Structure 1
Amino acid sequence: MTESALPGLLPDLEVVRKDFPILSRTLAGGHPLVYLDSANTSQKPQVVIDAMVDHLERHNANVARAMHQLGAESTAAFESARARVASFLHAGEDEIVFTKNASEALNLVANTLAWAEGDWSARVGRIGPGDEIVITEMEHHSNIVPWQLLSQRTGATLRWFGITDDGQLDLDNIDDLIAERTRVVALTWVSNALGTVNPITEIARRAHEVGALVVVDASQAAPQLPINVTTCGADLLAFTGHKTVGPTGIGVLWGRRGILDQLPPFLAGGEMIETVRMESSTYAPVPRRFEAGTPPIVEAVGLAAALEYLDGLGMEHVHAHEQAITGYALDGLASVPGLTVLGPLSAEQRGGAIAFELDGVHPHDVATVLDTRGIAVRAGHHCARPAHARFGVQASTRMSSYLYTTPEEVDALVDGLLYTRDYFKVS
C-alpha cells in the first residue's frame, strides 16, 4: 500500500523518516532495516543526536556546583530541559524529577511511601499493615515488583484488576477492589504487551473517592498520546526518555507538588541536601530532594530535544499516525494463517505494540527468521509475564510501530511471517 492510501499517517512521512539516520541502514544480506521494536526503544532523530554532541563539545560541565561559564551554561541547559518536560506534560517545573528511567521513578514512589512519616494529608499517608495497594494483571514488571516489595515490607495487601478475554481491564468489581483500605492504585496507561489503552481518568475518579493515591506508568503512553497531567487524574506519573525518541539513561517522575513535598528523600548524596552536619542533615526542596549526585545532564539535554521534536510534529498527529498504522497492522496480521493477536483487536482501543502467537513456531524462532530479512521485532514475555500467563502462553512475538513506521514495513512483516510459516513447514 502507498502512504497516501492510508488516512491518518503523518504528512511528509518520508521526510520525517529522513530525520532518523538509522532508518537508512542496510543490514546483513542486503536487507533494508524494518524497525518494528519501538515499544522496546525508539530510534533517535538527528536533532537529538546533535543536541547531545553539541553539549558535550561546547558546554560540558557539572551542574549547580561549578562557578564558571561552562558550569552556568550546563546548569541552564539542564534546567531548560526540566522546563521542556513540564511543558510536554502541562505541569509545573518544580513538579518534574529527573531519574535514570521509569523503573527508578516508580521505585522512588514505592519506597518513599514506605518510609514516610509525620504530618500527612488525608489523601497521602504512610503505607502500613491493613492497607491495600491495587495494581493490574497487565503491568510491566517495573510496576509490579516495587509494589510487591512495599507490601512485603509494610504488611499491606496487594490486590489487582484482572484482564478480560479481549485484553481489557476487568472493571466489574472496581468498587470492591478500590475500597476504604485502598491507599495506592498503580497502573499502566498503555500496556506494553497487550497494547491496551486503559481508562485512567475513570479509575482515578474512583480511587480519589476513597482517598487513594493514583500512580501511572506512562512509559508507553508518553510516546503516543497527548498527556495533560492536570486533567488525566494521576497524582504521580512516570515515563522514560528512550521510548520518546530520546536517549537512554533518563526518566521522569511527575508528581503534584503537594504530594512530592510530603515524600522523604529516596537516594542520599550531593545536591539533595541543604545542610550536612555530622549529627544530621536537612534536605533541599523538591525536585532537588530526589536528585542526588551528578544527574544525567547530557541525557536531559537530549530528552528536551526529543520532546521538542515530538511537539513540533504535534502529539495529536503522532497519535493519529499510530492508530492508522496499528489498524493496518491488525488487518495484515489477520491475513496470516495460525496467527493470534493478544489484546484488543481494534486500533481505537490500543497503542502500537501488538503481541501475537504463530501456531507451531516458537516466538524466538519467529524473531530470528524475521531478523534474517532485516525485520526487528521482540520475542519473550516483554517484562509482562502475568499478562502472558493470563492468556496461557509463555511468550509471544511483538511488533511495535511508531511515528516513522510505514505501511510498506508492515507489508514486509506480513510477508516475513508467511515466509516463517513456510520455513518451518507449518501446515
Structure 2
Amino acid sequence: MERAVIFLCLLVASVYSSSLKFEKFVQEFQQNEPLEDGGKHWALLVAGSNGYFNYRHQADVCHAYQILHSHGIPDDNIIVMMYDDIADNKENPVKDNIINRPDGPNVYEGVLKDYTGFDVNPDKFISVMTGDKENARGKVIESGPNDHVFVNFVDHGGPGVLGFGTKMLKAQKLMDAIMYMHENNRYKKLVFYVEACESGSMFYDLLPKDIDVYVTTASNPHESSYACYFDKTRRTYLGDVYSVKWMEDSDKENLNTETLNKQFALTKQETNTSHVQEYGDLSIGEMTVAEFQGTQAAKNAQAPPKDPCEDAVKSEDVPLEILRRSLNLVKSKEEAREIEIKLAKLIEERQRTDRVVKHIVGLATDDHVTAKNMMETRQHISKWECYENAYDSLEEKCKKHLNIPENDYALRKLYMFVNMCENNIPFEHIDSAIEKVCEEENI
C-alpha cells in the first residue's frame, strides 16, 4: 500500500510541472488520521483582546491555526475567535500581514475568521465550546464521546478571570462549561493551553483530576505572563513567551512521537519569565501532541532568530514599554512629543489606579496594619462568592477610574480583593468602600 501511494505521488509529480501545484496536491491528498475508535480532532482558538498594542494575542492564535491546519485538522473542525482588527489596523505598516516572530511568515494568510469583533465574548465562547448552536449562531464544537478537543486561549487575565475585550470570563463559569461537556460525553480527552496573567487561578483547586481534562497555563495563580519579540517596524510585541515556546516546538517536532509531557517540560524550562503550570488529569500528558494538534506531517519551520525571553516584558507593562521603545525610534520632534504626551498620560493612569485601589482597601479594612497586609500578600481564592461580587462591583462602579476589564494594569491589583475576602472582610464593607471611592471626581 505504501509503495502504491509513493508511485501515485510520483505520477502526479510528473503531470504537474509546477512545484506549487504539486505541493497543493500533496496537502489535499494527505488526511489527518482518525483517532482511536473513529474519533475526530476538534479545536477552538481564541484571542480575546482587541487594539493594536495587543497585536501579539491575535498573532499567537493565527500561528496556532497554521500549526493545526498544517498538521491535517480540517477547517470544519477548527474554530477561530479573534477581533480581526490587527492586519488592516492603521498602525500596522504591513497590511494584511501578521507575524509571530521577527522576520517570520505571515500567519494571517488563510486563517479562519469564524467569530470576529464583538462576537468574541465570554457567552459566545461558552456556547461554541459546549456545542450550543442556538446561542452561538455559527460554528460550534460538535464533538462526541470518542473525540479529542484542543482549546487555546490567549488574552489578559487576573485572579479567577480571563479577558474578552470589554468582558471577562469567570473561572466558575468556565468550570461549569467543562463539567457540562464531561457529563454530556462531549469529549474523550480535552486539553487546554491558556496564555494569560495569573492563568493558573482559573484551574487551581477547581479542576477535577478525574474528568479527562489536561491544562497547561502560562503562569501560576499569582504572576504575570510575558510578551516578547518587540518589532521595530511594527512597534509592538509579536508574541507571548509561553505561546511562542510551545508553538515553535510544535513547528519543528514530530508530533506523532512527542508527548504532551515533553512539550510541557520544554515549554516550562524555556519560559524563564513565569512559572508554567499543569492541572487536571496529568496522565493525559503521556499522550502524543499529535492526538490534539493533528497527525499529519508538516514542513518544519525555520528556527527563530533569537530567544524570545531576551526582550520579554510583563503583560501589564506592554503599553508602557511600546511607548518607551517607540520614543527611541522616531526621527521627528513632533512625533517624539506626541509619544511623550501618551507616555505621561499612561503613567498618570497607572498612578491613579494605585491610589484608587489603595484608598478602597484602606477604607474597607479601616485598619492600617490589615490594609498593609492585604497589599503585600497573595492568597488563593476559596471564597468565590465574595470575590466575584467584589469584582462585579468594581467593574460596575469604578469604570471611570479603573476601567476594568480593559485596564490590564488594574487587573494586577485584584489580588487585594481576593485577600480581603479570604481574611473575612465582609463584602458589604468592600462594596461600600468601592462605591464611596469611585464616586470621587479627583483621586
TM-score by length of 2: 0.29
Q: Which has the higher contact order (CA 8 A, sep 6+)?
A: 1
Per residue, is there more helix in 1 or in 2? 2
TM-score of the pair, normalised by structure 1: 0.30
